[in-house]
Amino acid sequence: MTSAHPKLVRQRGRFGRWRQQLSEISWQAYLLLLPAVSLIAVLFGGGLILAFLQSVGLLGLTSEGSLSLEAYRQALGSGEFWQSLGLSLYIALTTTVLSTVLSVGLAMLLQGTGRWASFACQLTLPIPHLVGIAGILLLLSPSGLLSRLLFSLGWISSDQDFPLLVNDGANFGVMIHFLWKEIPFMTLILLAVLRGIRPEYGIQARALGANPWQCFWHVTLPLMRPGIISASLIVFGFIFGSFEVPFLLGSTYPKTLPVLVYQAFTDVDLNQRAVAIALGLILSAISMSLIACYLWLSSGKPYRWLVGRRQP
């Protein structure tokens, strides 16, 4: 398209251009988005607001209270909260970084193996987390299948010799489960991204003297970046807020933040409910700000992600 005719632009001015931007097509778009956006706004936004009002004592199950930050004081005041935060961050960061690196490697390795690679990656995709948890428990517990296998091979002499991999202090079980579930998921996305990158770029880079490693580092990886960012974002957000996996596979102390929230929520003391909600809100706030930071750091120009230049 050629540049705007100077005279016409001058006549329309700022207001005219604004009105042009919101021309018929824009209104149509907003109208089409209205049902989805309003449902999410009511459910997600409304839920957050109600939660906030409850946490500061303005809304209560039993009585209309008065404004108080007692719940936040209690939540942030306990040493357990900080331990839980540390554990949640440790699990989410370690697993996300490991999944991302391994998925990029796997995607590069499996590139060109055709649709079978994608199909293999779909094996764990539709499996409920709870089923995965059950499988990991029966596989890795001291009396699990792996332990029996090692015993029959004579590598261990009793189930006591098998290393503790579930409900362990280091939360290996939790991380193994997430890696098992999220690596195929990320690899699947990255394989789709890789298929969208034209191989000519790589050939061109090689022709210009790049070795395979330079070609990967300077050409393929930057082209994959939007896909990597959005996939790791979803994975991080999910792991950070996940409840059932650390609850069933994780260490008994300290607990992850979501487990802590659950514990406060189901406490017999109803006052703990406000604390649970305060903890939940803190959890949401932390994940939102971490995501914002990540977007900021990973793109340099974070608003570009918002403008949506590239599809995730």
Partner 1 sequence: MTRKLALLLIVTVLFLPFLPLLIWSFAKGWYFPQLLPQDWTLQNWVSILAISSKVGQGFFQSLLIASISTGLALLVGLPAGRALGLMTFPGKGAIKLFLLLPIIVSPLATLMGIQFMLIRLGLSGTILGVVLVHLLPTIPYMTLVLSSVYANFDTGYEAQARSLGASPIQVLWQITLPLVAPGVVVGALFAFLISWNEFLLTFFVGSGRVFTLPMVLFTSLQGGNTGLTAAISITSILPALIFLLFSSRALRSDAAIGGLGDV
Partner 2 sequence: MFKTDSLPTPMPYLSLQNLTKTFHGTPAVRELWLDVNPGERISLLGPSGCGKSTTLQLMAGILQPDQGDIFLEARSLRRVPPEKRGMALVLQKGMLFPHLSVGENVAFGLKMRGVSRVEQAERAIAMLDQVQLSGFENRSPSELSGGQAQRVAVARSLVIQPKLLLLDEPLSALDASLRSDMQELILRLQDETGVTLIIVTHDQSEAIVMSHRVALMFDGCLRQVDTPEALYQHPVDETVARFFGGVNFFPAEAQQRQLQLSGGDRLSTEHPQQGPVQVTIRPEQIHVMPDPICGINLLPVTVTQNRFIGTQRHLTLKTVANLELQAWVPPSQNFAVGQAAIAHLPPDALWTFPAQAEGGDCSEQGRQLASTRSRLGNGNSNHQAPDQVEAQSLS
Query: Which of 172/305 has CB closer to partner 1?
Result: 305
Name the binder of 2 from partner 1, partner 2, none, CB < 5-8 A by kind. partner 2
Amino acid at 93: L
Is the CB of 7 or the CB of 63 nearer to partner 1? 63
Residue number with CB closer to partner 1 (151 or 216): 151
- Closest distance between partner 1 and the C-beta of residue 307, in Å? 5
Torsion angle of C-alpha atoms 81, 245, 234, 108, degrees rounded to 10: 130
Q: Which two tokens stand for residue 184?
A: 């195929």
Binding site partner of 7, from partner 1, partner 2, none, Cβ cut-off 5-8 A by kind: partner 2
Q: Which partner in partner 2, partner 1, none is near 9 (CB below 5 to 8 A by kind)?
A: partner 2
Identity of the residue, 22 or 288, whose beta carbon is nearer to partner 2 in the bound complex: 22
- Interacting residues with partner 2 (CB under 8 A): 1-5, 7-9, 12, 16-17, 20-21, 24
Q: For partner 2, which is the closer residue by CB, 27 or 201?
A: 27
CB under 5 to 8 A by kind: which of partner 1, partner 2, none does 1 bind? partner 2
Least spacing, CB of residue 307 vs partner 2, in Å = 14
Helix or strand or coil: residue 40? helix
Q: Which is nearer to partner 2, 16 or 128 (CB)?
A: 16
CB of 192 to partner 2, least distance (A): 22
Binding partner of 5, given partner 2, partner 1, none, CB within 5-8 angstroms per partner class: partner 2
Distance CA 197, CA 193 (A): 7
- The DSSP 8-state label assigned to residue 184 in this structure reads H
- Please report how close the Cβ of residue 302 comes to partner 2 at its closest, in angstroms: 24
- Tell me the C-alpha distance between 312 and 310, whole Å: 6
Q: Give the nearer residue to partner 2 in terms of CB position, either 7 or 157.
A: 7
Residue count of the chain = 312
Indicate the DSSP class of residue 160: G
State the binding partner of 288 from partner 1, partner 2, none, CB within 5 to 8 A by kind: partner 1
In the chain, alpha helices (H): 6-21, 24-40, 46-55, 70-77, 79-110, 115-121, 129-140, 145-152, 172-196, 199-207, 212-215, 221-241, 244-249, 257-265, 272-299, 303-307
Distance from C-alpha of 312 to C-alpha of 305, rounded to nearest angstrom: 9
SS3 198: coil
CB of 7 to partner 1, least distance (A): 25
For the CB of residue 28, give the shortest distance to partner 2 in the complex, in Å. Answer: 12
Residue 24's binding partner among partner 2, partner 1, none (Cβ under 5 to 8 angstroms by kind) is partner 2
Instruction: Using the minimum distance from each CB to partner 2, give the nearer residue, 28 or 214.
Output: 28
Minimum CB separation from partner 2 for residue 285, in Å?
37
User: What is the number of other CB atoms lying within 10 angstroms of the CB of residue 293?
Assistant: 11
CB of 64 to partner 1, least distance (A): 13
Report the distance separating Cα 61 and Cα 97, nearest Å. 41
- Burial class, 265, CB count within 10 angstroms (exposed 0-12 / middle 13-18 / buried 19+): middle
In angstroms, the CA 85 to CA 97 distance is 18
